[in-house]
Amino acid sequence: MDEKELFEHINKIELRDGKERTIKSYVLRNNVISPKSAGIINRYMEKYGFFYQDAPLDYSALFGNDNPVVIEIGFGNGDTTAEVAIKRPEFNYIGIEVFLQGFVNLLGQLGDRAIENVRIIRFNAVDVLNHMIPDSSVEGFHIFFPDPWQKKRHHKRRLMNPEFLHLLARKIRKGGYIYMVTDWEEYAEEVLEFSADEPLLYNPFGGFAPPVTWRPVTKFEQKGMESEHPINEIWLEKPDFTV
């Protein structure tokens, strides 16, 4: 693949049939590949990145091992993704992000720090999950500080809704988990409420979960705490027993 084709693939993130989604959980503002970003993409995309395909992913081929796979949706600038992957080397991580600069930033970190257990894609998460991720194949999902779309008229844009939660639940194996963190309390309460109606999942804590030791505090999270926003954590599991 030459440089022009590579950059075209990086910027191709709409639906596979070419139609734009009517309601998206994001708004793209900058899709220009700078010379610095181009250098990172050229150096590291082949090893750490992959492109959308209308076929199930072969995790073993992607990572070169059979370690369990965790998927992070909307990894932002990727700092947390990198740190979690370093702390938990027994897992493989797939990161999905639509924002170009965040994607490139993590790509650069993976290459510069030689983080071997992360692969990333720039594409719509719903399409990746529907067409590339087999059911009952994922160890867990991480969703850290998704956009709360604070205005009520924008709530329909929120990533987490009953339909999306059900999609995630289908993709995790028995005993797998979904881990969400947000500093927007009303959003957290909403997710906690509708998650109770998801038949494939249960909440082992009966409410919000305690913090885990392996997730670092991000700059965004620190600002939220300084503004006295409560950090709410939701941990759901797919039972490997009858509940």
**Catalytic site residues?**
147
Tell me the three-class secondary structure of 156-211, residue by residue. HHCCCCHHHHHHHHHHEEEEEEEEEEECCHHHHHHHHHHHCCCCCCECCCCCCCCC
